[in-house]
Amino acid sequence: MQIDWQPYLTMAAIGLVFSGLELLIPVRRPPAFAWRRYLTDLLHFSIGGIAIRVGTTAAIYFVMVRTGAISGTASLPLWLQVLAVMLFSDLMFWVAHRLCHAVPWLWEFHRIHHSSEHLDWLAAYRVHPVDQILNSTLIALPALLLGFSPVAILIYGVIYQWHAILLHSNVRITLGPLARIVTGPQFHHWHHADQPEAYDRNFGGQLVIWDRLFGTAFEPVSSLPERYGVDDPPRENFVTHLVSPFLRRHFQ
């Protein structure tokens, strides 16, 4: 069987860029090195990533076979397609993300992502396969069902991947006037805060507009969260992360 090295090469490039940025312009002092935490996140990226890609591909294929796509949108100018894909996809991201926090059994899977007590670029990969397959499928469906061109979807996918890493990174980067529309690291760090004032806030993936529209935006001017994570976090162990959602009270 031939190994697809592209995801690992992409991660190596992302790792080099953001590790350098976190060394040069950290927003807060990095924690002491914890090999168990880094190993857990690396296993999420590698083994969990394979499960997510296979599961998402299968789910999307199943839906598309049963529904098909609308033709015509692929003839629109490429820039307009990319903009439309971003708007539709991020709205679905907001909806899926909001559900993951509101529905107890969905939260059991999503809390794995929130279990990181120190945010950095690698923490973006700490996601439960069930959580990510459901979310990725919902996010991708509008663009696929509306028949946007593969090039437009690919461009959006690349932007999404790099932006998602930026949002979790320990970097001192501000977006200036763009922060009125586009999510930045500070905006998303507050989403991960283990502080009551930030609970159920800042669900948007790339755009701030949905949180502002639906009243879930939380945007302190200059401060950062004091702490991240969840109450009663799972042990820093990849296998524990996979099985714990099935063992907690909502599944008993």
pLDDT digits (tens, 9 = 90+) for 233-248: 999 999 999 999 998 7
- Residue for token pair 């969840």: 230
Residue 233 DSSP label: P
Neighbours of 95 (CB within 10 A): 16
For residue 171, report the phi and psi dihedrals to the nearest 5 degrees.
-130, 145
Tell me the pLDDT tens digit for each residue of 115-157.
999 999 999 999 999 999 999 999 998 888 888 998 999 999 9
Mean pLDDT of 6-24: 85
Q: Cβ neighbours of residue 189 under 8 Å, at least 6 residues apart?
A: 119, 167, 224, 225, 228
Q: 3-state DSSP call for residue 155?
A: helix
Confidence of residue 4 (pLDDT cuts 50, 70, 90): low
CA distance 116 to 119: 6
Q: 3-state DSSP call for residue 223?
A: coil
Q: Cβ neighbours of residue 114 under 8 Å, at least 6 residues apart?
A: 192, 228, 229, 230
Count, residues in the chain: 252
Identity at 250, one-letter amino acid code: H
Tell me the pLDDT tens digit for each residue of 187-236.
999 999 999 999 999 999 999 999 999 999 998 877 889 999 998 899 99
Please give the full DSSP string across the chain, using - where no structure is assigned.
-----HHHHHHHHHHHHHHHHHHHS-SSPPPPP-HHHHHHHHHIIIIIHHHHHHHHHHHHHHHHHHH---SSGGGS-HHHHHHHHHHHHHHHHHHHHHHHHHSHHHHHHHHHHHT-SS--GGGGG---HHHHHHHHHHHHHHHHHTT--HHHHHHHHHHHHHHHHHHHS------GGGGGTB--HHHHHHHTB-SGGGTT----SSBSHHHHHHT-----SS---S-BS-SSPPPS-HHHHHHHHHHSGGG-
Confidence of residue 69 (pLDDT cuts 50, 70, 90): low
- Does pLDDT of 60 surpass 80? yes
Q: How far is CA 130 from CA 127, 141, 233, in A?
A: 9, 17, 18
Tokens of 74: 């692929």
Residue 215 DSSP label: T
The percent of residues above 90 in pLDDT, for the chain, comes to: 69
Reported pTM: 0.90
